[in-house]
Structure 1
């Protein structure tokens, strides 16, 4: 049934978009906590004053 193929591709496209959005949201909420917490500590300890 060739007339059903657009529906199949539409379903695949929607599933791809949903999984992509889930992946991006999970990366946004999981990764930044480690990336934000460590550099702020490193910057405070390794920061050297430029005025004596």
Structure 2
């Protein structure tokens, strides 16, 4: 999931360089959402791993 967030971030940067503001904003929004989902899944997995170890 983090890979997709990075890919959409790169797409946003390239689109912004070429002047496609709408596409850049959309790709950046998708990248931000995917990054937050990744963070939530990472924290939940980390907590469950620590609880299961004890």
Which TM-score band applies after superposition, normalised by the shorter structure? 0.5 to 0.7
Aligned positions, number: 35
**Could you say which structure has the larger radius of gyration?**
1
Partners in 2 of 1:9 and 1:33 — Cα distance? 36
What's the TM-score, normalizing by structure 2? 0.55
For structure 1, the residue ranges without an aligned partner over 5 or more in a row are: 38-52
4+ runs deviating over 6 angstroms: none
Question: If each structure's helix is expressed as a fraction of its own residues, which one has the higher value?
Answer: 2
For structure 2, the residue ranges without an aligned partner over 5 or more in a row are: 1-19
What's the TM-score, normalizing by structure 1? 0.57
Q: Which has the higher contact order (CA 8 A, sep 6+)?
A: 2
Partners in 1 of 2:48 and 2:22 — Cα distance? 41
RMSD: 1.2
Q: How does 1:1-52 map to 2 (within 5 A)?
A: 1-34=20-53, 37=54
